[in-house]
Structure formats: C-alpha cells, structure tokens
Amino acid sequence: MNPYLPYKKPRFVIIDYKADDEILNYLRKMNIEPIKTIRCVDLQEPVDGHPDMVIFPVDFETFIVAPNVYDYYKNVLEDKGIKVIKGGKTLCRNYPEDIAYNVARIGRYAVHNTKHTDQVLKYYLEEAGVEFIHVNQGYSKCSTAPVSETKALTSDVLIHEKLKSYNIDCMYIDPKVVYLKGYDHGFIGGCAGKISEKIFLSTGKILDENILCSLKQFIHTAGYIYEEASKRQIIDLGSLIPII
C-alpha cells in the first residue's frame, strides 16, 4: 500500500519544523501528534525542513532517510515501530544534488527523474514490485499528491500528461496558488494529502475560488472529505508523512 494513503488515522505525522501553531493544533485536535523535522543544513533554507526532501517511506513501516539527517530520524522513529534505513545519497544544496529522495508514489508506480533517484530507495521499491516512471521533474513528490491508488493532484504539466497516459485520473493545480517563502510559489504535493481514512487535508486555503471548487469536487469523487488545517493561504511544507 502507498504509505501516503493511510487506511486509518495516524498516531504521528512528520511535519516541517516551520509549521505554524494553527496547523500543529489542528493535528493535535485530531489526536495526531506532530513530529517536527530537523533542519537539514545542506539544503536551501526554504526547503531545509521539508520531510519529502530527506525521507522516503517505502511502506508504513520502512523509511529511507538521507545520510545528512539519518541519526536524528533513527533516534526519533525507531521506538515508534519504524525501520529506518540510511540512503546512499548524501544531499547537497543545489539541484539536482538535492532531489534523490523526492519521489512520488501513485498506485504501483514511483514517479521521479530516475537519473537522480537514490539507489537504496530504488532497490527497496523495485523489490516491492513498484514500477518507475521517468519524468524530468526532480521535485516529483513536491509536485504531486496521491489522492487514491488511481487519482492524483500535480502542479507539473508534464507529470500530469504522463500520469494520464498511465490511466491515472490526474488533476492539474496551478502552483501559483501555493505559498513557499523564498520562492515564487510552492507545489501542491507539498501541502496536501490524505490524513486519515476519510480526510484529505490541505495546509490552508486556496484563494482562487474556481480552483478550490474543482479541487473539492475531485476529492469528493474519491470518497473523501476535504479539510483545511489553517485559515491562511495554502503553504508548501514538503508533505506530511503519516505514521499509523
């Protein structure tokens, strides 16, 4: 199963250390305990706390973690039942040396620029029978949010086209609606995802009413409730990684 699609309410969620109190309190009200990331000093400041830059969940119990921050997550996660495996690629500041773990999972597919995928991560996915789809976009998880095993959101035009060619029902979301301090915009994959068996969560509000209306309809067709964790503009926090 896709670990970004929890089949029940998680016990914990890994979230960017920069997440504000409104979002953290939303999670706590759901009885989900936030686990804040540690800053990865080797990444650029706007994304140095993004979980999806340094962690890839192979399944609900096995996480691949960049060597840069491996010790921290091993200490934090192993007593929560997570097997933490050190990845092979040490991340560096500039693209494409920062994208090795930013892989999107949709159904039985892994979507990434496979020229730069971490080899440890790739080994474990291929052992699990997951097929890779190559795209030029290195920030594949940032750009893509699985909605179900057959539905996804993406802020990348070429990923949108590629997923539809694999018979995945995919909705394109203009990245300009997503806030990310330090950049012109963020991406939908970093700020939206399934947070329980029933709820699809965004980190905040999409201010474009037409896009919001279409998104809600798309989420509802998957059988989920759409909720917002804050009243502020939707913000890219580098995905929420659930621990069930």
Phi and psi at 160, nearest 5°, equal: -55, -50
pLDDT given at position 14: 98
Tokens of 162: 């590629």
Q: Domains, the chain, ranges and CATH? A: 12-243 (3.75.10.10)
Mean pLDDT of the chain: 98
What number is the average pLDDT over the span 176-191?
97
Q: Residues near 29 by Cβ (< 8 Å), separated by ≥ 6?
A: none
Predicted structure pTM score: 0.97
Give me the pLDDT at residue 1, please.
86
pLDDT digits (tens, 9 = 90+) for 209-231: 999 999 999 999 999 999 999 99
Burial class (CB in 10 A: 0-12, 13-18, 19+), 95: exposed
Looking at the DSSP assignment, which residues form a beta bridge with residue 235? 179
